[in-house]
Structure 1
Amino acid sequence: MTKPTPADAWTQMKSGNERFVDGVPAHPRQDVERRTEIAVAQTPAAALFGCSDSRLAAEIIFDLGLGDLFVVRNAGQVISSSVIGSLEYAVAVLQVPLIVVLRHDECGAVRAAVDSQGPNAPLLPAHIKSLVSEIVPAVRAVGVTAEDGTIDIEHLDVDLVGRTHLRDTVAALLAGSELISEAVAAGTLAIVGADYHLADGRVEADVVLGDVA
């Protein structure tokens, strides 16, 4: 089988998302035969790093099947050493040609990061605070800081915070992994940072590194 190019992988994902948006999913490669076929090995066409939100079920929104996606998720799609290691495994061992970093609107982690920077900020449990702190730079990049160091969260564009955090995440992935950045430079890997719209189910590319045309 010919190895898919980054453009092949992105085209497959876009086509599946269009079917999902139109309400005519094909539910490909989800039968007993497919389960048996991939029991001994996996050859996903792409890796996806996205938010853990229950409304962001990757294989469903891209209308893909078993073994099609190598998926890594955490709340707010926050870069960590385990995320980078997992994606490096997808690139180096599974040889995926595409990484999709997927954010969505109405993200609870982004909302928590915004609220943490306003006056009367809620006290967060330690591990949630640690995760949310990785999104705070996007809040401060977008918001207006008051004299007391807080952000005017009432007039803040929360969706812009989410999009800014998406771009920061893609940049952090490149900066944190020489293996991944070298694969992008060599043209064997592309990265697409994309926005998912909960209401209509549509995925739109926001930032693209590499050739997916």
Structure 2
Amino acid sequence: MMDIMTPQESLEKLRRGNARFMEDRSAHPRQDSARRELLTSGQKPSAVVLACSDSRVPVEIIFDQGIGDVFVIRTAGEITDLSVLASLEFAVTGLGVPLVVVLGHESCGAVKAAHHALETGELPPGFQRVLVEKVTPSLLASRAHGGRTTDDFERTHVEEIANHIVDRSPQILEGVRDGSCGVVGMRYRLSDGLTEPVVTYGVDIEGLDRQPV
């Protein structure tokens, strides 16, 4: 039904789409009635993206992708739990998706809340404190490596989530090791639209070292 991509090809597809979006020349591909009809028989997305729920980070738009191109999972602060890991594994093993993307972003409210809690000792009410509890280890890791700014904290949080996925999911780790799946962490810049790479497993980005597995 649809072409099978390698992890590297999937990454390059997303990066080309993001470049179009940044330059105000989005193609809005694969969004017509023929595409809808094609997808009634099944889906074959080329990437699964775990993104923050922030309304300013619409995944398909910033990567200029069409219907059925991206399997999207969204949580505040792109935090993970068992249901998120299960959804990621379903995409990779059930749908054959070759690329996992963790997408953080500039001015992340969850990161800001965790930073505020660290600085003041004040926790948000209700279940919102779960966000702080999930994000705080990333801030501590960033500080341990010299991170001091919000940008530092956001990048480290993306890296920590990507590492967590590879560490916690034997199926995704196996895919990285046999070359059928790549994992990349990115941070979306609200200011200019760029999805800047932070960490990679199994795919290459110029100027960014791949992590061992």
Q: 1:42–1:212: structure 2 CA closer, same or farther, 3 Å change rule? A: farther
Amino acid at match of 1:141: A
The answer on whether the counterparts of 1:6 and 1:212 sit within 8 Å (CA) in structure 2 is no
User: With structure 2 as the length reference, what TM-score do the two structures score?
Assistant: 0.90
The answer on whether the counterparts of 1:190 and 1:212 sit within 8 Å (CA) in structure 2 is no
Higher relative CO (Cα under 8 Å, sequence separation at least 6) belongs to 1
Please report how far the alpha carbon of residue 164 of structure 1 lies from its aligned counterpart in structure 2 after TM superposition: 1.0
Amino acid at match of 2:166: L
Amino acid at match of 1:184: V
Identity of aligned residues (%): 40
Please report how far the alpha carbon of residue 117 of structure 1 lies from its aligned counterpart in structure 2 after TM superposition: 1.1
* Whole-angstrom distance in 2 between the partners of 1:163 and 1:10: 19
Unaligned runs of 5+ in 2: 206-213
Does 2:94 align with 1:102? no
Does 2:200 align with 1:199? no
The answer on whether the counterparts of 2:123 and 2:132 sit within 8 Å (CA) in structure 1 is no
**Aligned match of 2:79:** 78
* Whole-angstrom distance in 2 between the partners of 1:156 and 1:205: 19
**Aligned match of 1:41:** 42
User: With structure 1 as the length reference, what TM-score do the two structures score?
Assistant: 0.90
The answer on whether the counterparts of 1:8 and 1:212 sit within 8 Å (CA) in structure 2 is no
Unaligned runs of 5+ in 1: 145-154
Quick check: which one's helix share is greater? 2
**Aligned match of 2:8:** 7
Amino acid at match of 2:165: L
* Whole-angstrom distance in 2 between the partners of 1:92 and 1:143: 35
1:4-58 deviation line (CA, Å, top 9, x unaligned): 1011111110110000000000000111111111022111011101100001100
**Aligned match of 1:141:** 141
SS, match of residue 118 in structure 1: helix
Please report how far the alpha carbon of residue 156 of structure 1 lies from its aligned counterpart in structure 2 after TM superposition: 4.0
Amino acid at match of 1:45: S
**Aligned match of 2:51:** 50
Give the number of aligned pairs: 202
CA-atom RMSD in angstroms: 1.6
- Decide which of 175, 181, 185 is 2:173's aligned counterpart: 181
